[in-house]
């Protein structure tokens, strides 16, 4: 089973079937099975890839990157032996690739595969908690699990089955899942042209902004509805789409779901959802 480096959407559905298998026996959890520490250079990128389990990225209080992984599994094994972890630094100072690898799979900058023989390893879930400094770009890719990112940098967050939640003041932002909800909150748009994209096939998409300026808004659904809490007097709206150009329209804002709702919502002056 292979995860393309660019998007979880390219995964075969066979991966889903593998992740959904459940073992028998008591549920067990072991924290800190993997711990890694490093520092980030200006403009560095953190990439994290996971086969099953949640990814949570939080702000760091300094310029350090801190990675902790916990394993959760059902069965009598002390610790599943078919799950391992890796941390690889990149060519750019501060770049790091963090991976949870199942079976004989591998993880490189261009390739991520899982190769689990029989049932061993399929019951395990790896839950990552990662702290990153402000300005570090985030690429978080999962197959089966929620992805939650709070950052002050560009973010790309993908999962196959699970919810995606992103809070940041710097774009571009791309949140995507096949089965789950997408919640993107931009506390500041700034003066750039960075895009904001939220997509799912089965679930809702909510995009929160404090204000609107220089946006090309395109919201759409196949089965569901669209809405906005902003007063968009010039918007072209019907039951399945909402389109409007605000100011120069230099920044793309795109939200789409096949089955669900897409809503553009306004944050209050403190950057909070009402």
State CA 242 to chain mean position distance. 25
* Secondary element (H or E) of residue 19: helix 14-20
Rg (CA), the chain: 19
What is the predicted pLDDT for the residue at 43?
Answer: 86
What is the predicted pLDDT for the residue at 95?
Answer: 94
What is the predicted pLDDT for the residue at 144?
Answer: 95
pLDDT in tens, 99-108: 999 988 889 9
- The three-state secondary structure class of 195 is coil
What is the predicted pLDDT for the residue at 117?
Answer: 62
Structure tokens that stand for 72 in this block: 């959760």
Query: How many CB atoms neighbour CB 10 within 10 A?
Result: 12
What is the predicted pLDDT for the residue at 23?
Answer: 57
Q: β-strands 111-113, 2-4: how paired?
A: antiparallel
What is the predicted pLDDT for the residue at 231?
Answer: 87
Please give the Cα distance from 62 to 60 (Å, whole number).
5
Find out whether 201 and 257 touch, Cβ atoms under 8 Å.
yes
**In sequence order, which residues have a C-beta less than 8 Å from that of residue 142 and are 6 or more positions away?**
8, 49, 50, 51, 53, 54, 55, 158, 159, 160, 162
Ranges of the chain with pLDDT below 50: 1-2, 4-21
The values of phi and psi at residue 17, to 5°, are -60, -40
What is the predicted pLDDT for the residue at 191?
Answer: 66
Residues 143-178 as b/e (b if ≥16 CB within 10 A, e otherwise) read: bbbbbbbbbbbbbbbbbbbbbbbbbbbbbbbbbbbb
Residue 132, beta-bridge partner list: 59
pTM of the predicted model, to two decimals? 0.88
């Amino acid at each position: 089973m292979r995860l393309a480096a660019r998007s979880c959407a390219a995964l075969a559905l066979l991966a889903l079937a593998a992740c959904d298998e459940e073992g028998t026996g008591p549920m067990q959890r072991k924290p800190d099975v993997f711990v890694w520490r490093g520092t980030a250079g200006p403009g560095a990128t953190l990439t994290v890839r996971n086969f099953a389990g949640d990814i949570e990225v939080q702000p760091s209080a300094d310029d350090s990157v801190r990675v902790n992984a916990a394993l959760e599994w059902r069965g009598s094994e002390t610790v599943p032996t078919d799950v391992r972890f890796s941390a690889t630094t990149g060519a750019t100072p501060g770049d790091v690739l963090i991976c949870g690898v199942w079976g004989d799979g591998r993880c490189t900058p261009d390739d991520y595969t899982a190769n689990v023989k029989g049932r061993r390893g399929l019951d395990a879930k790896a839950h990552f908690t990662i702290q990153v400094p402000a300005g570090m770009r985030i690429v978080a890719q999962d197959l089966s699990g929620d992805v939650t990112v709070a950052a002050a940098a560009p973010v790309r967050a993908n999962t196959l089955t699970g919810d995606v939640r992103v809070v940041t003041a710097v774009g571009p932002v791309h949140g995507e899942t096949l089965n789950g909800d997408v919640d993107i909150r931009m506390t500041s748009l700034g003066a750039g042209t960075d895009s904001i994209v939220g997509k799912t096939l089965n679930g809702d998409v909510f995009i929160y902004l404090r204000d609107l300026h220089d946006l090309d808004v395109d919201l759409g659904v196949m089965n569901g509805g669209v809405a906005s809490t902003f007063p968009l007097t010039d918007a072209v709206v019907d039951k399945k789409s909402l389109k409007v150009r605000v100011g120069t329209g230099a920044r793309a804002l795109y939200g789409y779901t096949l089955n669900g709702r897409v809503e553009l919502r306004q944050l209050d002056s403190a950057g909070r959802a009402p």
